[in-house]
Each structure stands twice: as structure tokens, then as C-alpha cells.
Chain A
């Protein structure tokens, strides 16, 4: 897989994946996105109101995949509105702050919100422990998060948007897993740029995979 750069392939891609970034307020979702899409980090990025949006094109197996990433507001008050944007998502990253136990504890809530608001359960979900650079303030043990990820068949990575550690990896794993699953299920031919809009409706691509498959793709992915 290689980064193709967004601008170059803005209107030229083979596959379109809608991904959502969710998690409590202040865990670093927007910075993860800006680091991934623009290699940029703002120490004081403003809080997200509603939903923000970015894209990045990547090459997987010779195919150009456009990742359409929806960054949602984390504050509880916004949940009613942000869930309107989950529709059609094929991947999700649930983000918590490794220095803030509460944000980790709320991950199971976010998982429930995802499952109750998605028509298509065949979605690939990753768990991300962000702010890895703040090791001295860590309050969420990595083993505990790994266990949670395994039990819920999630991909798992710890990242630092500040130091740009594992950010690319976290997104890449998510996108690759979605790609591999769709390849298994559909022979790769279901979603192309010519009917990419239909992916938003969630009725063209099937990402169903067995629990075993899911488990294998999540295990061993932690840092």
C-alpha cells in the first residue's frame, strides 16, 4: 500500500470507503485526521461542532481507494445529530485518550451507538488509544484495551497524533481490512468510481466476514 496523495486522485479512484471517527470529546480525533490526511498537527485545534470531513487516497493491491473520513463531535449533546452521518459507513475508528480512563470506559457506549445506528453490521471497527506520547500520564493499561478489542473483534492500535506514531498504520489497517473483506465477499468488483455514490447507501458492498477472520485481523495488531 502506498499513499497517493489526495489532490492527485481527487477525482480518480477505484473504490470509495466511508469511515467515521468517533469517541469522547478531546481525545484527539480531529488531530488524528489532520495528521493522517495532511500530515498536520495543531496543538490547539478547535473543538469539532457537528461533523467535519477529510479525504485521503491510498493505493491497495494496485487499486486506488479514496477514504472519505467523517470526524464527529465527541460531546454527548451531539450524539443525536452525529449518528445521522454514520449511514453508509464501512469502517469506524473509536478513539480514546490513554491518559483519561473515562474516555476508555465510554468506548463500549460508542460501540453500542455504532451497532444501533448502522443498517449494515458488516463494518470494520478499530479501537485507537491516542496520546501515546503522554506515557507518564497513562491511566489505561494497554493490556486491558487489547483484551477489550479482542472480545469485541476490533482492530487495535495505540497512536500519537502529536509525534505521528502509528497514525498511518491505524488507518491503513482499517482500510486494508475492509478491502480484503470486500475482496473475499465480492471479488472486488462491486464498488467502483462509477457507482461510488451507492456505497453511501450501504447496499452495494458487503463486508461480512466470519468472526474467525475478524479475530485474526485484529489479533497481533496492537503496538
Chain B
């Protein structure tokens, strides 16, 4: 027999318990009678030398998946090929007997899998544990370094099914099903192999697999990817019921569940952590698992990465991938030097693959473009005359607020003797900030709103005198990170953020939510400013403001500010429940709040994220008991699922 393809880390899930999973290999092979087969080998049935052999084969085909070329064929170096097949193949069937193969992409909650439907209507599901497949890891690492853009939804992350699909396509024609791009049809009519297959001794095993249940599970996987429901969380009684039930989970059960399911979320972080440590580049923070899922206990500060050389080489090339960079900013404390260098890269102002020279060239181009833009500013904006005389409303609002920034930092101080009466600017940095704000708002429907100057000035203080760069960073923050949405006149952006906060507080901190409702404070307007201007220095006892900015600019979470605010709410939950007696008290509390340890808040944020992830996972497990024939009936809805969106998925 000749093996054409081998893939490790392929699992059967005979029950929902992880311990019952069966590890093995998918192989494509050509029999001595020249028929092509798809086979599955159970790892535990192999001797150590065979395990080594198949692991080697798994890696042998990596280059096929990276570089498109004719399939490599390997003679299986074993005597008695037929005997081997009979002895070790858990099952196998000729490609001519396969009706279709459904390649299921991994979701937040499920492994990738393939569903094989035979012409005799039998279905088999094999799960692809990418984290346990060395070849997939290598291919993925290669793809991430060369292609992966976390903000591009179309450029989806590589998963093990892709190279399997590619390998199958090389040996047999497949036609994509018109209604589902992940379904490939191999044969449409019953072939002569059907009866042979039925006679083959595979039935006993598959009959015991509870195959139907796991096909059902795979349907959930599809659901969680496709997000087809239009139902909303608040209106759905089923969701309320299940959510309540989840909240009532007995501690032991909850703990067991969380420990079991944490693996799903950790796989990514763990793998990158291991890779990074091996390469000596960065240490990603491991999410603390010592907490029992009920209360967060702060233990130690997050790891710090302070030396730019750890992530950037002498020419200014980044040593790490974009994913690693986003992880770094989400999970670690970093130095100001790294922050200043990386913000423009994280925001896409500079290309991830650029070096210092290229960035200098980009700076020059940026300046030219910015100058052109500035010349187009309406003359009535006071572009040349930085005083309040004769300005339109938008320009006057900007000027007035920029003028008042002069107390923010010594470098922004207006000259002595400047009087408020004509709001005139003499400080060159203030003039720059004024111009940046004009460029950002003059031709945009949202126009200038108070608070925008706070954001831009914070960036400016990181890059003083680099007006074009500050403009471009601000523009990306306003539009790519959607900060401008919070300033909309119709309140759509900020309302959405506060709604998400409401939902998450309800799920993650029901006792706090109960209190907030008691004092009519569930509108969360007292944290409005935190969303609007990304927190302010007054919120901190130390100089930790930019740690929250790092978490936001990292782009690692879909709603980073919401998770931070949740972390703050959690930290002060007991105080609010026990000490606050009215809406006004609560407002005053937040108004005076000085956060002592931003590091702790960010760790709580990540912990809450994990808790929410587990809640949703639990919800999906509950759904197994429901009638789920209608795939569009996902009562959780896209809003609740969308909260978990993150680049690593």
C-alpha cells in the first residue's frame, strides 16, 4: 500500500466526555489493487515505532500544504500491507463510496471537523484537534506570519480541514455544493462499492458511537459560526431560562465544567506561549486558573516586556506576528518605548512587515498627504489665524477646547498673558492639535464633540511635533476602533456599548445588577465618560492610564472598554452592593474613583471574559437537549455570540 497523505491529531468523540475521545490519524492510501481509500487509524492500537512513523508522515506532507505541488507518494515501509490494513485500520472506505464531505471550520466553541456521508447514507464525524497536530501547527504558523490579518474577516485563520481538503482534491474530483461552500460532493449515485462497504466490519464500532448526537454537536458548531438568528437575548424566554439555570449551577459542577472547558480558550494562548518561550521572544501571560470560577483573587502582576529589542530587530523588523503583538498588548505590561513604536503598527498606520527605513519613508509620504489635506481646510476655520474671531461653530468648539488643554501638560501651556476672551492659541503644539481636530471632523457628519480633544491630546503627548502621524493614529482610532461612534448625535454608538455592558453585568454579576436596578442605575450613565474618552488620568492613583489604552488598541477583544469597565464594576461590586444607597451616591462614587491597580482590573477583565466564554459554552451544551432541527433557531442571537469575537478566532 502507498500512503499519499497522513494527518495526526484526528479524534473520534464517542461520548461527550473528553476522556473517551479516541486519538488517531486520517490517511489517504492506495491499495495494492490500485483503489484509493480514506482511512482512520486509532493511535492506541499502534506500537511506539508505528506512532513515530505516522507522526513523521504527518510532518512529511507539510510542504504539500504550503506549496502547491503534485502529491508525494510514500511507500509504507512495512511488510504485508494488506495485513497492516486489516490489523490497524479502524475503518476505511474507498472514495467511490463517499457521497459528500462537509468540512466544518472551527468556531469559538468547537473543534474543526469533517462529516463524511456515504452513498448508503451513513454519516461519520471526525474532529480535527489542530492543537494536537504538528503539521497543522506548522502550516498555521507559516500562514499567520505571511498572511494573517486579524481584522480581515475574509482572511480566516487556517485550520486542519484545509490541508485535508487539498489532499483529497489531489486524488479525486470534488464538486462544491452550491448552497454550502464547505460541502463537497464526490459521488451522486450508488456505486458497486456500497455493498462491499456494508459488509466491512465497521458497523459495530460506529453503532456504538452515538453518532447522531455528535452529528448534532457538529450542527451546533455550524450555528456558532453562521450566527443566523435574529432573536435577541432579552426577548427570548428560553435564553432567560437557561441563563438562570447556568447561574444556579452548583459550585462543584461549575468548577468541573470550567476546568474542562478552559482548554478550548487556552489552546491558542498556550501554544503561542510555548512557541514564544522556545524562541525566547516574549512570554505571554497565562490566564490564571487557580481561581475557582466563583471569585477572582488577585495574585501577581502581569508579565512585563520592557525592552524593544525583545520584539524588534536591529533594522526595525518585528520579530513577532501581529497576533503575538496583539496578545502582548492585551496580556502584558509594556514599556513606553514599545508603546510608542507599536501603536501605529497595531493600528495599521505602518505595515506589520515594515522596517525602520520603510517607516521613515511612510512618514514622509504621510506628511505630504497631510499637508495637502490641511490646505483644503475651510479658511473660515481660523487655520491661519488661531483665534475665535469669525469661526464656524465646529471650528470654534474645537478652538475653545484645545485652548483649555493648555493645563494638561507643560508642553501644551499657552504663553503667559493669553486671555480667554478671544481664545487665541500661541503654543505650537496646541495649534497642531487644533489643526488635527479640524482635519478629523470638518468633513465628517459627526463633527467635533467635546471629549475628542482629550483623546487626540493624549496621543499627541506620545508623539509631540509629529502632527501627520498623530492625525493618522487618531483617524484609525476614531474609525477602525469605532471611538467616533460614541460621539454620534443619535447616541447609537454609546447606547450600544452601554447595552452590551448591561447584558454582561446581568449575566456575570447578577447580584450587582439586582442592586443597580434597585437604585434605578441600570442605565450605566455614570461610566459614560470612561467609554467616551478611554478613561482619564483622574481615574488613576498612578500613571496607569495607558495600560487601559494598550488593552484597547491591542484589538484583541471586540469590546475592550466594556471588559475594562466590567473589571472595574467587579472590583468594586461589594462596595456598591453594601455601601451605595442611591443613583447619586453611585455617580459620586465613580466620579471620585481613583483606580489603584490597573493591572488587577485588566486581569479581572480577562477572567470575566473567560467566565462569559464558559457560560456560552455551557449554554450550547444545554442546547443539546433541545430540538435543534431548525438551524436558524439560535436563541442566543448574534449579539451575545458576537461579544466573544476576537482575532484569535
Contacts and interface: CB of A to CB of B under 8 A. Distances in A.
B584 A25 contact: no
A25 B400 contact: yes
Interface string B433-464: 00000000000000001110110000000000
Interface stretch (B16-24, B245-253, B405-413): B405-413
A46 B407 contact: yes
Given A77-B449, A84-B525, A46 B582 contact: no
A68 B587 CA distance: 12
A99 B421 contact: yes
A47 to B, nearest CB: 5
Contacts of B450: 25, 47-49, 73, 75, 77-78
Looking at B400, B420, B453, B523, the one whose CB has the most chain A CB atoms below 10 A away is B420
A216 interface: no
Contacts of A81: 491, 525, 528
Nearest to B413: A44
Interface string A24-58: 01100000000000000011111111111100000
B584 to A, nearest CB: 4
Looking at B450, B487, B491, B523, the one whose CB has the most chain A CB atoms below 10 A away is B450
Given A49-B454, A50-B532, A77-B489, A18 B584 contact: yes
Contact of B523 (A73, A84, A88, A201): A84
B421 A51 contact: no
Nearest to A82: B525
A200 B397 contact: no
Interface residues of A, number: 32
Contacts of A51: 587, 591
A116 interface: no
A44 B402 CA distance: 9
B588 interface: yes
A11 to B, nearest CB: 13
B73 to A, nearest CB: 68
Contacts of B592: 53
B414 interface: yes
Interface residues of B, number: 37
Given A44-B404, A44-B407, A47-B400, A200 B584 contact: yes
B584 A134 contact: no
Give the secondary structure class of B's interface: helix
Nearest to A55: B588
A26 B451 contact: no
Interface in A88-104: 88, 99
A197 interface: yes
A47 B404 contact: yes
Contacts of A46: 401, 404-405, 407-408, 454
Nearest to B414: A44
A31 to B, nearest CB: 10
A206 B99 CA distance: 80
B385 interface: no
A105 to B, nearest CB: 14
B593 to A, nearest CB: 11
28 contacts: A25-B397, A26-B400, A43-B407, A43-B419, A43-B420, A44-B403, A44-B406, A46-B408, A47-B404, A49-B533, A49-B536, A50-B528, A51-B591, A53-B587, A53-B588, A68-B588, A77-B449, A78-B450, A80-B491, A81-B491, A81-B525, A81-B528, A85-B525, A197-B581, A197-B585, A200-B583, A200-B584, A200-B585
